[in-house]
Amino acid sequence: MAKLTMPNQHPGVTDTKRRLLHRSFVAAMAIVTLSALLAVAERPTAHADPRPNIVVIEIDDMRADELQYLPKTMALLPGAHFTNSVVSASLCCPSRATFLTGQYAINHKVTDNSMGAHLNTSHTIAAQLHASGYTTSMIGKYLNGYGCAKQTPQGWDNWQALCSNIYGMYKYSIMDNGFQTYYGTNPEDYQTDVLASRASTTIENAATSGNPFFMWVTPTAPHGGTGKRVAPKYATTFSKWKLPPKASFNEANVTDKPAWLQQLKPITVSQRSSITKAEAVRLGMLQSVDDLVEETVNTLRDNNLLGNTNIIFTSDNGFMHGEHRIKSGKEVAYAESVDVPLIISGPGIQSESISAMAVNADLAPTIAGLAGVALSWAVDGRSLLPALGALDPWPQRAVLHSIIGDFTTDGGGIGKHPSGIGVTSEKFAYFEYSTGERELYDHTTDPLELSNQAGQPNYFAIENSMQEALALLKVCAGTSCQIDVTNIAPNAVASVQCDAYFTCQFDSSMSSDADGVLASWAWDFGDGYSSSEVSPIHTFETGGIQTVTFSVEDELGASASRSLIILSSANSAPIAVGAFDCVDLTCTFTSDASTDADGYLSSFRWTFGDGKSANLASASHAYTTAGTYNVALTVADNRRATDKWIGSITVTLPNAAPAATMTATCADLLCSFDGTLSTDSDGTIGSWSWDFGDGIISSGDLAEHLYDQPGVYAASLIVYDNLGAPSLIPALLEITVQYPPIPTS
């Protein structure tokens, strides 16, 4: 491959001459880059390689919670969003070496920003992909200390690494495959925009090749530096931005923290203002990163490559903004320094939020999996591909976090941070310092890491588990680093209080799960009854020894159980006694005479023999049809013992009144009355009541009456049926009687 060289820039070269030189160098760079791509394309292939292209955009010092300020990135990369993504070393050079190798710093030996030369360049994802036929491109920041070396590291076909003043947004240089290109102070020289343009050119050149490509784009935004930091078009975008409220910011009580942090003084109002301004600058710089993502996606789409390209978006580490009184910086074990964004998008990857733990050591094996290649060295991470769209839960993992070497935290030399090493899982973060101090945080209940649980009795089991994992990770290599956290079984706690009738209140509210949450509760009362409530109430029916078993299960299926022994006395069954009173078709039922000698009646059930029932001590029921019915009363006492009473009732339709009919014949003062023609439609005539109209009454179906005086009398008859109901209308008859005629001689 041809190499172009350029002497170091002379102080006397004017900006105008520099721009002219820059244009010629860019043209030369394009020729060199195209030559490199064509050289790779000339590798013998029977047909175009169908493997996916892979683009990794790795940001510098971007926190996980800053992703929300990149709307284009979130919209254009709708793939798998890992919400629990961390780095194993929160420092630029060790973190990038971990990305390239899939190894922790203890194994790749790049443990500090000054140790980039320790990287085995033959054991990088770029070298492996290059060997398998991928065209590999590096655009942006490489490892700290690389400088302006003209030699391209092993495995890279297209080398466009930031060379001098790498954190400057202006007045920096890029090493173009051995040719150093300088940039000035014009708006178009803004570093992130230049890298975006270079990435687009690389994509366009790769589109004509039959080879898949791997491109690592690494702008230094939003890393701190000197000079103008924000592109002119975003200079005022965040001018009025304010730090959101956060309990860990300027943490009030740090007595549970290690000694080095306790020495940090509370953040002043002036310092808070400085932190706010610094973050506003970072967010402004990230807007250009958002544009870089947009331009990359659009270029892939314009060249018909987007449908076969996987894009990974992440950061090399996080950054502190006043949390726990740490005004700025990284390389601490706290979440803001360790947590990074991670999005994996592309063909076949569904849009989802994944809470499974991911670490930057996973990216090399993940990329290898996407490319269908096997890494030729032992990797400490694991491919994340099985976690994408996974139906089964991703294993609870323990990943290593290390800080090698003492350093002084921000704050005027106060707070010398000791070296240390720790372990992070989905729920907990544990760290041991060289001073012997320890920190343990429960991210389920304390995501802001305000309460150090190291040494606390309630967390002994967790701390022991994390220490065991750390002991393994300290000396691990390869698959021995892939440690799954053993789920700690929950603690089952059960209690009971019973009254004199053996109605018992059970309680399991004190049960707990040290490393998760309780998901289900199960009670077996030993008498055929059960419950899934936290605090059920149960009454035992029979006497004797009752063994109650309680079990609780956590969200991962681990369980624990406890047994309770209850001695209950024998129970005497209640006595059911029913009574009723019926009028026509309506009856009233009572259970007042029912008793329970050693408890109390707790339930009543009447069945009325016509398919109807009532769960009342006393009930009223109206039948629709006359007849005889078998009625039952079942009573249960407080211990569910029962007794039944059975009775028979007859109900009738309402009684119809009889109709009175009378006739009479008279001779002189003597009259004969006849009531036999009276009728009763639903029974018989039971009695007759005669009123002869002269104050004399009589009974019987036939009656005779001798009037004392002649005259006209109003006689009447009322009849009563066999049920005693009277006729509604009396029979009336006007009677005329007279003296017998005087005999004639």
Sequence-distant (≥ 6) Cβ neighbours of residue 113 within 8 angstroms: 91, 92, 93, 94, 144, 145
Q: Which tokens belong to 240?
A: 């009025």
List strand residue ranges (DSSP E) for 427-507, in order: 428-433, 438-442, 483-484, 495-498, 503-507
The conformation of residue 512, written as its DSSP 8-state character, comes to: B
Question: 176, exposed or middle or buried, with CB in 10 Å at 0-12, 13-18, 19+?
Answer: buried
DSSP helix/strand/coil, 502 = coil
Gyration radius of the chain over CA positions: 49
Q: What is the dihedral of CA 353, 358, 362, 363, to 10 degrees?
A: 50
Report which residue type is found at 18. R
Give the C-alpha separation, 79 to 66, whole Å: 18
**For 151-184, what is the HEC assignment?**
CCCCCCCEEEEEEECCCCCCCCEEEECCEEEECC
CB 671 within 8 A of CB 651: no
Residues β-bridged to residue 565: 547
Report which residue type is found at 131. A
CB 258 within 8 A of CB 439: yes
Report the candidate in 240, 136, 225, 183 with the shortest Cα–Cα distance to residue 23. Answer: 183
Q: Which of 92, 93, 504, 671 is catalytic?
A: 92
The bridge status of strand 135-140 relative to strand 213-218 is parallel
Give the C-alpha separation, 693 to 716, whole Å: 7
CB count, 10 Å around CB of 16? 9
Burial annotation 686-698 (CB, 10 A radius, 16+ → b, else e): ebbbbbbbbeeee
Report the candidate in 657, 503, 637 with the shortest Cα–Cα distance to residue 576. Answer: 637
Q: Which tokens belong to 162?
A: 């930031």
Give the C-alpha separation, 593 to 577, whole Å: 5
DSSP helix/strand/coil, 437 = coil
Q: Find how far residue 68's CA is from the centre of its chain.
A: 20
CB 524 within 8 A of CB 549: yes
Catalytic residue status for 92: yes
Sequence-distant (≥ 6) Cβ neighbours of residue 601 within 8 angstroms: 574, 591, 594, 595, 617, 635, 636, 637, 638
Q: What is the set of active-site residues?
A: 92
